[in-house]
Amino acid sequence: MTGSTYLDTILSFHRRRAENDPRSLNDLLEFIPEVASRGFSDRLKQESGLSVIAEVKRQSPSKGILRADLDPSLLAQEYAVSGAACVSVLTDTEHFSGSEADLRLVRNTIDLPILRKDFTVDPRDICDAKIMGADCVLLIVSALERSELIELHELAIDLGMDALVETHDEIEIEIALGIGAKLIGVNQRDLKTFRVDQTRAIRVAKEIPQGIVKVAESGIKSPEDAKALAAVGYDAVLIGEALVISENPSQIIKELKEL
């Protein structure tokens, strides 16, 4: 891309949408359901061995449509039966063809904890996630100012949700730890170029102390990839594309669970 990066373009869209959103945060907070979270982070900690967060993902900005006939309910059921610990659902419509409807469908289909995978830039995004049935939200360090991270992280916790704080390097891990994050992801995909570096999560693993739930994201395509991540202390792997394009996603999850 020339000029703006993938991340710039996506964030610009979401920030414009937030600016044009007439809804009041206080009004939204009144609509928050008093429903107990299903414990996203707790589920990852309770699992023996490496946990799998399986993703419902229709397309990506860099690769286009991944699976034209994707049925969120059927795919989520397959993930659950195969042993996934949690499910991630893309709700970004503009860039990933996801939707709130996809998350609600998955919520009504399975009992597993759900991550709303989206570009969170505003407190109302957290409220929306809770209202639509998510148990966890994504906070991307490179997409937010430190003050925004603190505000959004605190709100998620106050609403009984978990927050997966996504990092890409040692500096961002330090920032995540500084705001009190207990669930930290390392995304091996550079969100500026969308290129994947499969050694990134292994290189920075030592920067995340014990007691923090550690999630490796992107570029995990085989049991060998996952085994290497488990060996350096990761509690879970988040896998989307490899599962969505596979003719047998159940087999992939089962192989990962056997590590």
Say if residue 4's pLDDT is above 80.
Answer: no
Is 166 annotated as catalytic? Answer: yes
How confident is the model over 90-101, as pLDDT tens digits? 999 999 999 999
The region of weakest confidence among 106-110, 167-171, 220-224 is 220-224
Q: Average pLDDT, stretch 56-68?
A: 89
Residue whose C-alpha is closest to residue 184's, from 114, 256, 228, 238:
238
How confident is the model over 158-204, as pLDDT tens digits? 999 999 999 999 999 999 999 999 999 999 998 878 889 999 999 99
Higher pLDDT, 34 or 52: 52
Catalytic position from the list 78, 100, 172, 217: 217
Catalytic position from the list 172, 187, 241, 257: 187
Q: Average pLDDT, stretch 105-131?
A: 98
Say if residue 89's pLDDT is above 90.
Answer: yes
pTM: 0.95
Q: For the chain, give the DSSP string.
A: --SS-HHHHHHHHHHHHHHT----HHHHHHT--------HHHHHHHSSS-EEEEEE--EETTTEES-TT--HHHHHHHHHHHT-SEEEEE--HHHH---HHHHHHHHHH--S-EEEES---SHHHHHHHHHHT-SEEEEEGGGS-HHHHHHHHHHHHHTT-EEEEEESSHHHHHHHHHTT-SEEEEE-B-TTT--B-TTHHHHHGGGS-TTSEEEEES---SHHHHHHHHHTT--EEEE-HHHHT-S-HHHHHHHHHT-
Say if residue 58's pLDDT is above 50.
Answer: yes
pLDDT at 162: 98
pLDDT at 258: 83
Catalytic position from the list 41, 218, 241, 257: 218
Q: What does DSSP say about strands 114-117 and 64-65: parallel, antiparallel, or unpaired?
A: unpaired
Catalytic position from the list 166, 172, 214, 241: 166
Q: Average pLDDT, stretch 125-132?
A: 97
Catalytic position from the list 55, 78, 100, 172: 55
pLDDT at 63: 85
Is 55 annotated as catalytic? Answer: yes
- pLDDT class for 1, splitting at 50, 70, 90? very low
Is 217 annotated as catalytic? Answer: yes
Say if residue 83's pLDDT is above 80.
Answer: yes
The 10 Å Cβ neighbour count of residue 150 is: 14
Higher pLDDT, 259 or 125: 125
Higher pLDDT, 69 or 178: 178
How confident is the model over 166-179, as pLDDT tens digits? 999 999 999 999 99
How confident is the model over 144-155, as pLDDT tens digits? 999 999 999 999
- pLDDT class for 36, splitting at 50, 70, 90? confident
Catalytic position from the list 57, 130, 214, 257: 57
Catalytic position from the list 117, 130, 214, 257: 117
CATH of domain 6-32+40-257: 3.20.20.70
Q: Please, what is the average pLDDT of the chain?
A: 94
pLDDT at 3: 57
